[in-house]
Amino acid sequence: MFGTGLLKGLGVTLKHLRDTYLDDRERVPSRYEGSIDLGDGERIIRQPIDQEGLLTIQYPEEKRLLPERFRYIPMLLWDTEKGEDRCTACGICAKVCPPQCIWIVRDSDENGKPITRPAEFYIDAAVCMSCSFCAEFCPFDAIKMNHDFELAVYDRYPQLVYDKEELTVPIEYYAALWPTQYAAEQELIRQKEEEERAKAEAKAKAEAEKKAQAAERPKAQRSPEELEALKKKAAERAAARGKSASGEEKGQEEDPEAKKARLEELKRKAAERARQRQQESGE
């Protein structure tokens, strides 16, 4: 029937209106209960995700508490404990960024050798599409998504091209914005460290046991007579080997006449054998 959709739409609007007033009444005496007071009349209002009514927010003095997984422009993490950038300038984030809005320049030492930290890091916030690929792919958990969405400026360039200094935040800031994710990452790091420590301990224990076993094993003690007998045996074996290799006693020169006669004899025997084979094959 003509006008049904219109009526349905008005019904939804009326429902929202009713829910809004009901919601306000539920919050008597104050709708600001549980909000975060930022001072100077500014506050962040907690609005449960399942709340039905439309709560009027006096923006910009009042803001809603953003959900943890809200993401806008990436930020670089500064490890306060170690006093260094987490970023190693590996460049993976720049490679995976779909609109290619990340530029990184790797730092180098006084000899010009590259080192694992960025000298410069830029993100063009006007191009970034908040996809979070950079944060997902970073192997060092060095880049995360910031919640700060109030980035309006008069000129796009250079104000919206953020450099390393503007992008860098202490890790505590990230921990406050993303508490669940931060806790999960810390747990993973702890587990990994625990595994590595257990492996190192097991290795050290195995080495110590090996050393102890080697120290405990008594060295073979032989009497002088036994040693003498072993030496004699070894000398005999060496002499036998030398003899079998040359057919003569080691160090003894063969008489040239005898050698000639031996070779003649060998030739004669070979000719005899060849003749015999010929006869056998002819029969």
Question: In the complex, which residues of this chain contact ligand SF4 (CB under 6 A)?
Answer: 74, 87-93, 97-99, 101-102, 104, 123, 128-134, 138, 140, 142-143
Nearest to ligand SF4 of 27, 117 (CB atom): 117
> In angstroms, what CA-CA distances link 5 with 9, 83, 192?
6, 61, 58
Q: Distance between CA 77 and CA 142 in Å, rounded?
A: 5
Nearest to ligand SF4 of 102, 177 (CB atom): 102
Nearest-approach distance from CB 154 to ligand SF4, in angstroms:
22
Nearest by Cα to 128 from 72, 67, 183: 72
Nearest to ligand SF4 of 123, 171 (CB atom): 123
Nearest to ligand SF4 of 101, 177 (CB atom): 101
Q: Distance between CA 259 and CA 262 in Å, rounded?
A: 5
Nearest-approach distance from CB 140 to ligand SF4, in angstroms:
4
Q: Distance between CA 37 and CA 154 in Å, rounded?
A: 29
Nearest-approach distance from CB 168 to ligand SF4, in angstroms:
11
Nearest to ligand SF4 of 34, 91 (CB atom): 91
Nearest-approach distance from CB 161 to ligand SF4, in angstroms:
12
Give the DSSP H/E element, type plus range, for residue 195.
helix 179-216
Strands 74-79 and 114-124: what pairing?
unpaired
Nearest-approach distance from CB 69 to ligand SF4, in angstroms:
13
